[in-house]
Amino acid sequence: MCKQWRLYTQRGFALLELLVATLVATLLAVWGAGRLAEAAHESGAQAAAVWMMSVRDGVAGYLDRYGDALHAAIRYDALAEFGYADWAAPTLAELEADGLLSRGFPMLGPMGARQVTVGTVNAPGTSGRSTSNSSNGTGAYVRLFRNPGCAGASCSLHAVVYARHPMRVRGSLQVDGRGIAQWLMTTQGRGGWVNPARPHHLAGASFDWANPPWGGPALLPGTVALAVGTTSTGGAQNLRVRDARDPEFQGGVSVSGPVVASSDLRVGGYLHLQSVSAVSVSCASEGAIALRERGGLLICRDEQWQPLTGGAAGAFTMTQSLQCVRRFLGSPDRPDSFYVNPHTENCSCPPGTNAYYVSTSAYATGANRDEVIRRYICLG
């Protein structure tokens, strides 16, 4: 009887241990599943932020490419020739077609795919046309706007990318605070949102605008947005490629390569030219103008330097057998002098000038021999 009681006692302890182990395993499984769901939730918010920052980069390229036209735009179809139905609300499809978003860019985005079951959505902020299908089938909208009450090209131009769907807890209308916090952290201060506590503001770390800053229907609470930037032609400090503005530089400009002007070149001061060596005859840049070492201008024609301005460029003497006379150097005004051209230090003319015969004379060299010399002058 005693042995049988002990057996039952042992079985009772084994059952209690099993229940405890099962309870611990269940708690661990629940905790692990909850942590896994939380990690998946954070990952989704991060993916949504990265996707929208890619859109932001495309809009930044849009501002950079069409900055001058955007500032001067009055009609909504000002950029119709470039494929944009409304310059103030370019769609993701239009940005992709213009090469500002990569081909095959996911138009819906991870956030739009996650929130597609939610019925309420934000409206595209168009300025002068009806909503297009290409705009409605995306997960984010783009809107450009000027400061309230400001008109003209000197006004600052802002751009914002905002989500079509507010970030809400799945299956409810409650704002997803954890997801928005993770989204804002991923955007590193560039993002903002419509806080239910401040529904009339679209605000973030770097901006605080009215909701919405362009007028029209307010963005829904829980909507996240990215500020793209602010541009102004009135105070812009940076020049862009194909910029039509006059930079009006106040200092010197150094350029290491050739300067190409498609119109007239006007110089208010002096134009300094590099001189061409006297021994240089050939040239490679057709139409180039250079300064001759001893004065005068040269122009490159048919790969040869030719005089652009006339004038004398020295003189020299040679013997009857066309030997260059280097002895008895003297002044050209002496009839019995022998001399070389001081411009070339030889019996030759500088590039761009030609030798013209002047006279012939004889000079006694001894032993009843006379040396016949010829005199030449170089003219350009």
C-beta pairs of 320-323 under 8 Å, 24+ apart in sequence: 320/360, 320/372, 320/373, 320/374
Residue with tokens 């990318």: 161
Split at pLDDT 50, 70, 90, the class of 142 is very high
In a domain, 242, yes or no: no
Instruction: Determine the length of the chain.
Output: 380
Domain that residue 299 falls in: 275-306
Query: What is the mean pLDDT of the segment spanning 53-65?
Result: 91
Evaluate whether 284 touches 269 at the Cβ level (below 8 Å): no
Most confident of the ranges 118-127, 226-235, 249-258, 288-297:
249-258
In a domain, 236, yes or no: no
- Other beta carbons within 10 angstroms of residue 257's beta carbon come to 5
Last residue of a domain, one of 306, 322, 347: 306
**In terms of domains, do 288 and 358 share one?**
no
**In terms of domains, do 168 and 194 share one?**
yes
Q: What's the CA gap between 252 and 239, in Å, rounded?
A: 17
**In terms of domains, do 302 and 189 share one?**
no
Asked whether the predicted pLDDT for residue 371 surpasses 90, the reply is no
pLDDT of residue 305: 77
**In terms of domains, do 211 and 334 share one?**
no
Q: What's the CA gap between 52 and 47, in Å, rounded?
A: 9
In a domain, 177, yes or no: yes
- pTM comes to 0.55
pLDDT of residue 233: 45
Query: What is the mean pLDDT of the segment spanning 11-27?
Result: 67
Split at pLDDT 50, 70, 90, the class of 235 is very low
Between 16 and 263, the higher pLDDT residue: 263
Last residue of a domain, one of 306, 323, 345: 306
| Virtual torsion, Cα 342, 344, 347, 350, nearest 10 deg | -120
pLDDT of residue 339: 74
In a domain, 188, yes or no: yes
Split at pLDDT 50, 70, 90, the class of 234 is very low
Asked whether the predicted pLDDT for residue 113 surpasses 60, the reply is no
Least confident of 34-38, 51-55, 304-308: 34-38
Split at pLDDT 50, 70, 90, the class of 224 is very high
In a domain, 241, yes or no: no
**In terms of domains, do 22 and 90 share one?**
yes
In a domain, 338, yes or no: yes
User: Is the dihedral angle over the CA atoms 190, 194, 196, 197 positive or is it negative?
Assistant: positive
Please calculate the CA angle 241-245-251 and round it to the nearest 5 degrees.
Answer: 95
In the beta sheet, which residues pair with residue 208?
Answer: 203
Helix (H) / strand (E) element for 191: namely strand 191-193
Q: What's the CA gap between 353 and 311, in Å, rounded?
A: 9
Q: Can you read off the two tokens belonging to residue 222?
A: 């829980």
Q: What's the CA gap between 162 and 214, in Å, rounded?
A: 13
**In terms of domains, do 317 and 194 share one?**
no
Asked whether the predicted pLDDT for residue 103 surpasses 60, the reply is yes
**In terms of domains, do 31 and 106 share one?**
yes
Helix (H) / strand (E) element for 205: namely none
Asked whether the predicted pLDDT for residue 15 surpasses 60, the reply is yes
Q: Can you read off the two tokens belonging to residue 53?
A: 């920052």
**In terms of domains, do 197 and 92 share one?**
yes
User: Is the dihedral angle over the CA atoms 110, 114, 119, 122 positive or is it negative?
Assistant: negative
- Other beta carbons within 10 angstroms of residue 68's beta carbon come to 17
Q: Would you give the DSSP letter of residue 219? A: P
Evaluate whether 380 touches 310 at the Cβ level (below 8 Å): yes
3-state secondary structure 250-296: CCCCCCCCCCCCCCCCCCCCCCCCCEECCCCCECCCCCCEEEECCCC
Evaluate whether 108 touches 137 at the Cβ level (below 8 Å): yes
User: How many domains is the chain built from?
Assistant: 3
**In terms of domains, do 155 and 288 share one?**
no
Q: Around 220, how many Cα atoms within 13 Å sit in the side-chain half-sphere? A: 18
**In terms of domains, do 283 and 319 share one?**
no
Please calculate the CA angle 238-239-240 and round it to the nearest 5 degrees.
Answer: 120
Last residue of a domain, one of 178, 209, 231: 231
CA neighbor of 205 nearest in space, from 179, 230, 225, 176 = 225
**Packing angle of the helix pair 2-65, 177-187 (nearest 10 deg):** 50
In a domain, 245, yes or no: no
**In terms of domains, do 46 and 70 share one?**
yes
| Virtual torsion, Cα 97, 102, 104, 107, nearest 10 deg | -80
Q: What's the CA gap between 105 and 109, in Å, rounded?
A: 9
**In terms of domains, do 316 and 206 share one?**
no
What Å distances lie between residue 24 and 15, 16, 54, CA to CA? 14, 12, 45
Asked whether the predicted pLDDT for residue 157 surpasses 80, the reply is yes
How large a percentage of the chain has pLDDT more than 90? 18
